[in-house]
Amino acid sequence: MSSKIFYADAGMGRKVKGQALVASDGFSARYDLDRIRGVFSRPEHKLAGESYRGRVLVLDAAKGGVATAWMLHEMASRGVMPAALVLNRANPIMVQGAALADFTMISGFDVDITKAIPNGAEVEIDPTAERPLIRVF
């Protein structure tokens, strides 16, 4: 099977596979999500109405406030959670939240990753590799 690989500057968490949900937009658990229903809820968000459960979110930048640092842990406890987060640019809150929740996240690419990954593609995230990566099948 042919695949394409994009390397990230940093990563944490476990190796995961899933279907990509891609948009050139930001990410904040507080601002953007209905965490009970597991959908993007902010009307202006490009993924408004989309379910994120089990998906690999490929987005532009971490946005919003500090609540995501707790919310990823809370979302994981209920199992209504993305599989992983792939960002062009992380911020400290996403990193802190991923660290608490033991959540898979990679960030920092030499291309715009939201343009490089097709929406709906099957992908694998490996933050444990010598260079963290996302592989597109």
99 binding other proteins? (CB under 8 A): yes
Give the shortest CB-27-to-other proteins separation in angstroms: 10
Pairing of strands 133-136, 122-126: antiparallel
7 binding other proteins? (CB under 8 A): no
Residue type, 28: S
- The Cα 128–Cα 73 span in angstroms is 20
For CA atoms 34, 37, 41, 46, the dihedral sign is: positive
Q: Which window, 16-24, 76-84, 109-117, 118-126, contacts other proteins (CB under 8 A)?
A: 76-84
Collapsing DSSP states into helix, strand and coil, what is residue 84? strand
Give the shortest CB-90-to-other proteins separation in angstroms: 8
Give the shortest CB-62-to-other proteins separation in angstroms: 6
Instruction: Give the bridge partners for 102, in sequence order.
Output: none
In the complex, the residues that contact other proteins under the rule CB under 8 A are: 10-12, 26, 30-34, 41-45, 61-71, 73-74, 76-78, 89-93, 95-97, 99-100
